[in-house]
Each structure stands twice: as structure tokens, then as C-alpha cells.
């Protein structure tokens, strides 16, 4: 019986061995050929809430701009598309005498072509907009070749790591970066590493049924059906947590070992749920509303209350059976002076409740007022 061999896409290529486990290949493909072998893995979550994928949704205007350039006549398109290849690909070195090519080996790359319903052997790490533009432009008819850089990696973690690094020079939406960070286990640049733990905690607060933020945080992967209830942006929550972790006076600072990078997530979770549950119970009329209806859920409100958390929580015994009630009692000291959903902040120059914005001057004024009022009332009691 004759064995049917899988169809292959063959391309002359250069192999560069930086890491034997993950060889790099340089070759060319047309836009149609890229989509024939590669999927675009967009960020989303499965039924259990686990993050899958890493790409942002396609940007239609950006794609149209590329199409217009491609259709403008003779063009140069040097920007390469970056692919992550399955280990199913085969590289066959060219025969003949070996010549020193600066660490590169010439040969033929064989990529299996998937049958209908089969998983494609590659994923687009960078260049999804360019690829889609190529398949929609007039250059499609000529099989216009574009440079492709590819590395072998079946591991989704490595793909996400490369996706973040490749896009640091061309900014990704901050929310997408923050959501991907907890899923990456490799060593990250300092600016990204500082946001990894806060982002992981943000996700925990959003998914934990005991959290007052359960289902209220809007992330890049939030489905359309859940957007209505997701009233707080993840960047605000992450910024609030990052401030507390990074400042020696922050209540979360002691829970992270700077030397080892280890964080006591269990204790931090208890502290955050205790405090923010008390915030919810102190201001029930303002909790869970969209920012345009409640400045408590606005960036300025969340961050200002986060700074107040740094003053309130060091004095609270989290192991006490009524810790949340204690925090609620403490927050009750500022309740009469807050104007989250109506009225005027008299101490803030007469700003109306909905005139508070998430800008440095307003954030500073609101934070200082809440902390000053709390400390004065506590001292007077």
C-alpha cells in the first residue's frame, strides 16, 4: 500500500544556530503562503478563564494604509514577518563544500501544509497587519515575496516572550502587555518585570469570586458579553498595586522580597480583598458603576483610595476574625466628606464630583485630601 506523504512548502533558507533547541531561519514567502501555514493567535480566554493567544485584534486603518502603499507602484517592503514554527518543520542542508557564512548554513526548509481541519505548523508573532494587507492588495496577484524570520518553538510561553520583546519599539496597547506578562516565565526587561506581579494580582482580583472586583475589571481579552460589567480598566488597578509595591511606605512593599523576587501572594490577596471589600461596603451606592456615574470607580478614585490603603492597612490585623469590619469602621471616618456620585468637593476648590480627572494634579489633591481627612479624624477620636 502506497503511503501518502504530506504536502510540503519548500523554500531556500538560511539557518542560524543561536540556540540549538530553537534554530532561526531566514527565507521569503508571499502573504497567501504565510496565511497558508501560519495562524494569527489573538488574545482571548478559554471557558476556565485561562489566557490563550497573544495577538491584538487587527487594526483596520493600519491595514488599509499598508494596502495603499503596496498598491502605489514599485515598492520596497523590507520589514520582515516573524513566525514561530512547529518542530515538525525539516531543514535539509545544501550539499557541497562548507563555506564560512558567519554562522549561517544554507539549505531547504520543508514546512508541512495542513489539510482542512488540521492545526497549522506556524504562528505569526509579529507582522499580522502586514500579512493581511499583502493578501488584500494588488500585489497578491504577483505573489509578492516578503522576508520572513522564523524560530522553532512549540512552547506558547516562548512565543509570548518574543511577541512582547519584538513590540517594545512599536508600542502595544498597555492593557495587552499587562495581561500577557503573568504568562511569561522568562527573564524580562526591568520595566516589564515591575508590572508582572501587579498584573498577576489584577487577574486574580478579577477572577476570584470572593474579590469585590470580581468581573469588574476590563482586560484585553474581556469578551463582548462581559464588557458591560467591566467598569474598571486593568491599567488603573495595576498602577495602584505597582505604586504600593514600589514605595517603601506602601503597605504591599513588605510582601515582596526584592532580593529573590518572591511575592507572598496569599497574604497580599487577603489584604487586598479585605480592604477593597470594606471600600465596597462603605460606599455601596458608588461601587460597580461606570466611571462616568461614579468617580470611585474612576482612575483617580481607585488610585487615591489605593494610597489611602497604604495608611489604613498597616494598623489592621488581617488574622483577626473581624478585620474587614475594622477597615470599614476606619473608612467610615472619610465617608461624610466623599462626593463620588454627586455634589461638590468643597476642599478641592469646589470641583464637582464628575470634574475629577485621572491627571497628576487631581490625583494628588484627592489623595492628599482623603489621607489628611482620615488622619485628622482618627487623631480626634
Per-residue pLDDT of the chain (381 residues), as tens digits, is 445 556 889 999 999 887 777 788 999 999 899 989 888 765 556 556 665 554 455 567 678 878 888 888 778 888 888 888 888 889 999 887 666 556 788 899 999 998 887 888 888 888 888 888 888 888 888 889 999 988 887 766 666 666 666 555 444 455 554 554 555 455 445 455 556 788 888 988 998 999 999 999 998 777 788 888 899 999 999 999 999 988 889 999 998 876 677 788 889 999 999 999 999 999 999 999 999 999 999 999 999 999 999 999 998 999 898 999 999 999 999 999 999 999 999 989 899 999 999 999 999 999 999 999 999 999 887
Distance of CA 102 to the CA centre of its chain: 37
Same domain, residue pair 336 and 269: yes
Domain tally for the chain? 2
Running DSSP on this structure, what letter comes out for residue 337? G
> Is residue 52 assigned to a domain?
yes
Same domain, residue pair 160 and 203: no
Same domain, residue pair 150 and 242: no
Contact 297, 231 (CB under 8 A): yes
Same domain, residue pair 15 and 161: yes
Same domain, residue pair 152 and 182: no
Same domain, residue pair 162 and 251: no
Which of 270, 184, 191, 179 minimizes the C-alpha distance to 218?
A: 179
End-to-end CA distance of the chain: 92
Same domain, residue pair 186 and 322: yes
> Is residue 3 assigned to a domain?
no
Same domain, residue pair 79 and 108: yes
Q: Is 377 helix (H, G, I), strand (E, B) or coil?
A: helix
Name the residue range of residue 78's domain.
8-172
Same domain, residue pair 113 and 202: no
Same domain, residue pair 278 and 368: yes
Picking from 172, 198, 223, the residue at the C-terminal end of a domain is: 172
Residues in the chain: 381
> Is residue 2 assigned to a domain?
no
Q: Is 110 helix (H, G, I), strand (E, B) or coil?
A: strand
Burial 50-87 (b: 16+ CB within 10 A, else e): ebebbbbeeeeeebeebbeebeeeeeebeebbbbbbbe
Same domain, residue pair 37 and 168: yes
Residue found under cell 480592604:
275
Distance of CA 365 to the CA centre of its chain: 30
Which of 340, 198, 341, 176 minimizes the C-alpha distance to 272?
A: 198
Picking from 142, 172, 202, the residue at the C-terminal end of a domain is: 172
Amino acid at each position: 500500500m502506497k503511503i501518502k506523504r504530506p504536502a510540503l512548502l519548500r523554500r531556500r533558507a538560511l539557518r542560524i544556530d543561536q540556540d540549538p533547541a530553537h534554530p532561526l531561519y531566514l527565507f521569503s514567502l508571499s502573504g497567501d503562503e504565510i496565511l497558508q501555514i501560519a495562524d494569527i493567535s489573538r488574545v482571548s480566554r478559554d471557558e476556565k478563564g485561562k489566557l490563550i493567544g497573544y495577538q491584538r485584534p487587527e487594526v483596520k486603518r493600519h491595514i488599509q494604509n499598508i494596502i495603499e502603499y503596496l498598491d502605489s507602484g514599485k515598492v520596497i517592503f523590507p520589514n520582515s514577518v516573524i513566525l514561530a514554527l512547529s518542530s515538525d518543520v525539516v531543514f535539509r542542508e545544501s550539499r557541497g563544500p562548507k563555506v564560512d557564512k558567519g554562522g549561517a548554513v544554507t539549505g531547504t526548509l520543508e514546512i508541512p501544509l495542513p489539510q482542512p481541519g488540521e492545526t497549522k505548523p506556524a504562528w505569526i508573532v509579529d507582522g499580522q497587519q502586514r500579512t493581511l494587507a499583502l493578501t488584500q492588495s494588488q500585489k497578491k496577484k504577483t505573489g509578492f515575496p516578503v522576508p520572513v524570520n522564523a524560530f522553532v518553538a512549540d512552547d506558547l510561553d516562548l512565543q509570548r516572550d518574543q511577541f512582547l520583546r519584538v513590540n517594545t519599539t512599536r508600542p502595544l496597547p498597555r492593557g495587552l502587555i499587562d495581561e500577557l506578562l503573568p504568562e511569561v516565565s522568562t527573564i524580562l526587561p526591568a520595566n516589564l518585570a515591575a508590572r508582572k506581579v501587579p498584573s498577576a494580582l489584577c487577574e486574580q482580583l478579577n477572577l476570584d469570586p470572593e474579590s469585590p472586583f470580581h468581573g469588574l475589571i476590563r482586560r484585553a481579552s474581556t469578551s463582548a458579553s462581559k464588557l458591560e460589567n467591566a467598569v474598571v480598566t486593568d491599567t488603573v488597578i495595576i498602577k495602584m498595586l505597582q505604586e504600593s509595591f514600589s514605595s517603601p511606605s506602601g503597605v504591599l512593599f513588605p510582601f515582596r522580597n526584592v532580593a529573590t523576587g518572591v511575592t507572598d501572594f496569599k497574604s497580599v490577596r487577603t489584604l487586598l480583598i479585605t480592604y477593597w471589600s470594606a471600600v465596597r461596603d462603605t460606599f455601596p451606592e458608588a461601587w460597580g458603576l461606570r466611571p462616568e456615574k461614579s468617580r470611585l470607580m474612576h482612575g483617580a478614585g481607585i488610585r487615591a483610595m489605593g494610597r489611602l490603603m497604604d495608611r489604613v492597612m498597616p494598623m489592621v490585623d488581617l488574622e483577626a476574625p473581624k478585620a474587614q469590619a475594622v477597615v470599614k469602621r476606619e473608612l467610615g471616618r472619610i465617608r461624610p466628606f466623599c462626593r463620588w456620585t454627586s455634589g461638590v468637593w468643597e476642599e478641592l476648590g469646589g470641583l464637582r464630583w464628575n470634574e475629577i480627572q485621572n491627571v497628576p494634579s487631581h490625583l494628588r489633591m484627592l489623595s492628599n485630601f482623603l489621607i489628611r481627612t482620615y488622619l485628622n479624624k482618627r487623631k480626634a477620636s
